[in-house]
C-alpha cells in the first residue's frame, strides 16, 4: 500500500492532481487507514503513470477515460485505441499549424529590435500596433 505522498513521488503527479483524478474516477478511491490516511494499491501507481503519460501527450481527460476503458478489455480491437490516438494527433497538428505563424511573427519582431532605448523598441511598437505585423496570426 502506498500513501498519497509516496504515490506522488513515484509517479511525479502532484497530490492535488491525484485527488482530482480520484474524484473524476480515473483512479479507484483509496482505502483509508485507521488514521483516515489514503492508502493506494500498487495498481494505482501503474494506472496513474498511464494517466500522466497520456496527459503529457496532451490527451484530454475524456480520451484518457476511453483509453482506460479499452485497457480493461484486452479482447477489444486495437483500432479503437488507434482512433483515439489519431484524433489526438490531429489536435496536435492543428495546434502546431496555429503556432507556426506566431513563431514567424515573434522571430520577425525580435530580430528588428536593435535599439538601446525602450522608446524606440520595435517589439513594444508592434505589440501596440497590430498593423505592423507581417501577417495575420
The residue among 89 and 125 whose pLDDT is bigger is 89
In the chain the first and final C-alpha atoms are separated, in Å, by 51
Contact 8, 14 (CB under 8 A): yes
Q: What pLDDT is attached to residue 135?
A: 82
Task: Return the domain boundaries, the chain.
Answer: 2-57, 83-132
Q: What pLDDT is attached to residue 86?
A: 98
Q: What pLDDT is attached to residue 117?
A: 85
Q: Indicate whether 37 pLDDT > 90.
A: no
Averaged over 37-64, what is the pLDDT?
95
User: Which CATH topology does 2-57 take?
Assistant: Multidrug-efflux Transporter Regulator; Chain: A; Domain 2 (1.10.1660)
For the chain, what's the residue count? 137
Provide the mean pLDDT of the chain.
Answer: 93
Q: Indicate whether 36 pLDDT > 90.
A: no
Q: Give this prediction's pTM.
A: 0.80
Amino acid at each position: 500500500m502506498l500513501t498519497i505522498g509516496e504515490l506522488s513521488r513515484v509517479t511525479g503527479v502532484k497530490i492535488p492532481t491525484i485527488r482530482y483524478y480520484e474524484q473524476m474516477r480515473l483512479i479507484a478511491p483509496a482505502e483509508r487507514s485507521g488514521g483516515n490516511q489514503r492508502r493506494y494499491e500498487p495498481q494505482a501507481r501503474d494506472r496513474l503513470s498511464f494517466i500522466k503519460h497520456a496527459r503529457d501527450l496532451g490527451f484530454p481527460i475524456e480520451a484518457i477515460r476511453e483509453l482506460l476503458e479499452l485497457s480493461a478489455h484486452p479482447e477489444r480491437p486495437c483500432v479503437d485505441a488507434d482512433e483515439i490516438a489519431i484524433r489526438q494527433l490531429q489536435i496536435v497538428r492543428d495546434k502546431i499549424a496555429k503556432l507556426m505563424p506566431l513563431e514567424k511573427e515573434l522571430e520577425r519582431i525580435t530580430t528588428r529590435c536593435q535599439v538601446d532605448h525602450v522608446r524606440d523598441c520595435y517589439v513594444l511598437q508592434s505589440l501596440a500596433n497590430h498593423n505592423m505585423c507581417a501577417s495575420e496570426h
